[in-house]
Amino acid sequence: MTDINDTLETAAHPEKLRRVAIDPVSRVEGHGKVTLLLDEDDRVHQVRLHIVEFRGFEKFIQGRPYWEAPVMVQRLCGICPVSHHLAASKAMDMIVGATLTPTAEKIRRLMHYGQILQSHALHFFHLCSPDLLFGFDSEMARRNIVGIAAAYPEIARQGVLLRKFGQEVIRITAGKRIHGTGSIPGGVNKNVSIEERDYLLKDIEQVVAWSRESVGIARQLFEQNLDLYNNFGRFKAHTLNMVRDDGALDLYHGGLRARDMDGDTLFDHYDYSHYWDVIFEDVKTWSYMKFPFLRSLGPETGWYRVGPLSRVTQCDFISTPQAEQARVEFLAFNGGSASGATLGFHWARMIEMLHAAEVIQDLLHDPDLQGNDLVSKGKRQERGVGVIEAPRGTLIHHYKVDENDQIVRCNLIVSTTHNNQAMNEAIRQVARQYIDGRKLTEGLLNHIEVAIRAFDPCLSCATHALGKMPLEVELLDVEGDRVDVLTRSSDGSFCSWD
Amino acid sequence: MKETFLLDGSTIPFEPGQTVMQAALAAGHYIPHLCYHPEFKPHGSCKLCTVKINGRTVASCTMPAEAGLQVESGIEELNALRRSLVQMLFAEGNHFCPSCEKSGNCVLQALGYDLEVHATGFRHLYPDRPLDASHPDILLDFNRCILCELCVRASSEVDGKNVFALSGRGITKHLIVNAESGKLSDTNISLTDKAMQVCPVGVILPKRVGFSVPIGERRYDQRPISAQALDDAPRQIHTSGSCSTCEDAP
């Protein structure tokens, strides 16, 4: 009989390790499984966040016409489909050789910032505020948005309405709140009418004000629990994000900026159309997700963190005044401690939400939104790369299209994949902080979930080639002993336990 | 005085030579249909237009109108059968409406909504039907073909080109391109052909224009197909006594 630890661990004495599985991770899109491997002294030796779901979009998009990609690939996610819609559209802009008209670019930006607003509101208010406001160990039945509505009715109401406003921005620019078709290769298929603009304008001042208050809530949480928020799952990481030419935070377009964990710049304003020269993807046999790393640092130490925390701390400034003030205060808070904390993600996320509200406000006053020059095209290209800063972090779409207009190759590196190793590291820190001997407590599990949720991962988004995924199906009895196992190797062969 | 028949209790006048379907549409009464097209000879293959006449089921698009017929169409028994037919069409091909550029303009999808088809209901066959993207301006996505033969009829009867045909039998029946290579690029089809305009689903598509019409402005976004099908039919303005037909009538 194969020992349970043989297939799980590479430690010198795996027989002395105890396996602890937490599955599924609730309130994270898709499914994840966390494996904690303890050593003989009951210390957390290793952590693995297993991604047990894959979608296969990179494979089944092959053969499809290129103009279908922006609509098809957004089905990767129901929370931030606009990110995929726009990243694919940007890649297809390159395919058709287009330089966007001002109207097309501004409508896409409006769509994207509407997406940032609704996704960040959803994450903070619906998914995380129960943990943050009630405490990580509070009663499970209460830790949801309904519980928030009962205890903090005004906060819950604002969260719901902020998300609704963002969804209305998406509906007007994309045609539907979820999975619209507004962005097409080379531009957009509709402008924003005066009536539509005025419909959004009537609420935008309130949305900006509520977003500003949301930043205040995030700050208060830090102030009230300084030690906890500063140290919870804290770790140092390299960072990757996109910035505008002048170094400003820009979530729609720009160049790539990477800095090491000490803040030294590895590359800056890098043209993402050749991202593969600076980013590479490693593959592990035990996870569905790929492990991207910075080429210059190598696969072992080159992992990095993306998302709101990286973006807000690594940009030179934010172009809208209220969000910029919030950024400066965030960086200065307690000697800069919040900007390196895992729970600093939430504060940074609220700063981005405020920025999104301000950008939407500015765009709504721009007459280009009512323009009729919607689509452009130029010299046809074979390859297209689209990068966008999605709510959860940098999102890369890369396509190759043949002379018959069919997609022949696709590579997607989604935000959660970028954050893969960073999430493992955060969980490891939390597990080491909160594990109590050999006893697993609900509190420990809650803390691990809080660490995962700080990244706002979209686990459903991780993709892997169909048919090449090593899979293991195991059957455990009530004692945790394995009673059966079926394994598929990467060459497609199967072997069973016996 | 025109001769008439009864459709779901309504008196329907008809001209000699008209089918039950033609007379019904002309009088402003919708009978669900897929392969019927007012510009082509009735085909009778999709069976969506099945009605009950004197207790017997027949395809209304091929059934000649006769005085005194008692026709039942809008009854749950028939609509349940129509739902099953639409469900089988969805299960037989690869119809992925969420990313199909014909979505909102697709007759099959519109019929599904109109007949309240909420789920496929049958095991999907997932046929392997590679695209033909060989033509520089036209894409063929065979995944969505429902074998209505409208393109076959249009190319043959109107365009005089005979670009399309059906091949195989039973479940293996499929649309083919009449070229030695089997590729559309080796035919003389052009974007202005009638065959380009009649596909009720998303098989025959002009390249590089997908999704250019925003949601809300697509054909079936505003009104259901049961209302719009009457737009395409030659209509009788007056339904009592002396009738005239007008192709421009709403």
Average pLDDT over residues B77-106: 95
DSSP class of residue A382 equals S
B207 has a chain A CB within 8 A of its CB:
yes
The size of chain A, in residues, is: 498
- A413-432 burial, b at 16+ Cβ within 10 Å, e below that, comes to bbbbbbbbbbbbbbbbbbbe
Touching B: A residues 36-95, CB under 8 Å = 63-65, 67-68, 70-72, 75
What's the rounded Cα separation, in Å, for the pair B219 and B201? 13
pLDDT in the model for residue A474: 33
What CATH number is associated with residue B178?
3.30.70.20
Residues A265/A296, Cβ–Cβ less than 8 Å: no
Q: Where is average pLDDT lowest: A98-102, A269-273, A367-371, B220-224?
A: B220-224
Mean of per-residue pLDDT scores for chain A: 83
Residues 6+ apart with CB under 8 A from A290: A281, A282, A283, A413, A417, A420, A462, A464
A67·B208 Cβ contact <8 A = yes
A68·B133 Cβ contact <8 A = no
pLDDT in the model for residue A437: 60
More confident residue, A128 or A287: A128
pLDDT in the model for residue A484: 33
Q: How confident is the model at residue A152 (pLDDT cuts 50, 70, 90)?
A: confident
Touching A: B residues 106-135, CB under 8 Å = 130-131, 133-134
Q: Rg for chain B (alpha carbons), in Å?
A: 19
Residues A28/A462, Cβ–Cβ less than 8 Å: no
Provide the shortest C-alpha distance from residue A128 to chain B (in Å). 30
Q: Which of B142, B215, B217, B222 to mutate to test binding with chain A, by most A CBs within 10 Å of its CB? A: B215
User: Is residue A297 over pLDDT 80?
Assistant: yes
Give the residue on B whose Cα is nearest the Cα of A190.
B214
- Is A236 buried (19+), middle (13-18) or exposed (0-12) by CB count in 10 A? exposed
pTM of the model: 0.87
From B68, B44, B77, select the one nearest B58 (Cα to Cα): B44
From A279, A336, A288, select the one nearest A306 (Cα to Cα): A279
Q: How confident is the model at residue B208 (pLDDT cuts 50, 70, 90)?
A: very high
Q: Which domain, by its residues, includes B172?
A: 81-222
Average pLDDT over residues A126-136: 79
Q: Would you list the DSSP string of A266-292?
A: EEEEE-GGGGGGTEEEEE-TT-SSEEE
Provide the shortest C-alpha distance from residue B59 to chain A (in Å). 37
Q: Where is average pLDDT lowest: A53-67, A88-102, A402-416?
A: A53-67
A72·B134 Cβ contact <8 A = no
pLDDT in the model for residue B118: 87
Which among A65, A70, A185 is the nearest to B133, CB-wise? A65
A 10 A CB-CB count for A466 gives 13
**What's A315-369 look like in SS3?**
CCECCCHHHHHHHHHHHHHHHHHHHHCCCHHHHHHHHHHHHHHHHHHHHHCCHHH
* Assigned domain for B198 exists: yes
Residue-range domains of chain A with CATH: 14-53+421-458+476-496 (no CATH), 57-418 (1.10.645.10)
* Assigned domain for B19 exists: no
B101·A68 Cβ contact <8 A = yes
Q: What is the number of domains present in chain B?
A: 1
Residues of B in contact with A67 (CB under 8 A): 101, 208-211
Q: Which residues is A35 bridged to in the sheet? A: A21, A48
* Assigned domain for B188 exists: yes
Q: Which H helix or E strand runs over A484?
A: strand A482-488
Q: Which H helix or E strand runs over A33?
A: strand A32-38
CA distances from A474 to A4, A16, A51, A479, B204 (A): 10, 20, 15, 14, 47
B208·A190 Cβ contact <8 A = no
The encoded tokens of residue A492 equal 């497609």
Give the residue on A whose Cα is nearest the Cα of B132.
A404
From A238, A231, A233, A300, select the one nearest A263 (Cα to Cα): A238
DSSP class of residue B100 equals -
| A298-352 per-position pLDDT tens digit | 998 999 999 999 999 999 999 999 999 999 999 999 999 998 899 999 999 999 9
More confident residue, A291 or A352: A352
* Assigned domain for B1 exists: no
A67·B98 Cβ contact <8 A = no
Give the residue on B whose Cα is nearest the Cα of A407.
B133
A376 has a chain B CB within 8 A of its CB:
no
* Assigned domain for B113 exists: yes
The size of chain B, in residues, is: 250
pLDDT in the model for residue B151: 96
φ/ψ of B134, rounded to 5, equals: -70, -30
Show the DSSP H helices in A96-240 as ranges: 102-121, 129-134, 145-151, 153-174, 194-224, 226-231
φ/ψ of A398, rounded to 5, equals: -135, 125
Q: How confident is the model at residue A132 (pLDDT cuts 50, 70, 90)?
A: confident
Q: Which H helix or E strand runs over A428?
A: helix A420-434
Which among B130, B210, B213 is the nearest to A65, CB-wise? B210
| Direct distance between the N- and C-terminal alpha carbons of chain B, in angstroms, rounded to an integer | 25
A67·B211 Cβ contact <8 A = yes
Give the residue on A whose Cα is nearest the Cα of B135.
A404
Q: How confident is the model at residue A209 (pLDDT cuts 50, 70, 90)?
A: very high
Residues A11/A46, Cβ–Cβ less than 8 Å: yes
pLDDT in the model for residue A431: 79
From A104, A129, A97, A391, select the one nearest A241 (Cα to Cα): A391
Provide the shortest C-alpha distance from residue B201 to chain A (in Å). 16
What's the rounded Cα separation, in Å, for the pair B250 and B228? 9
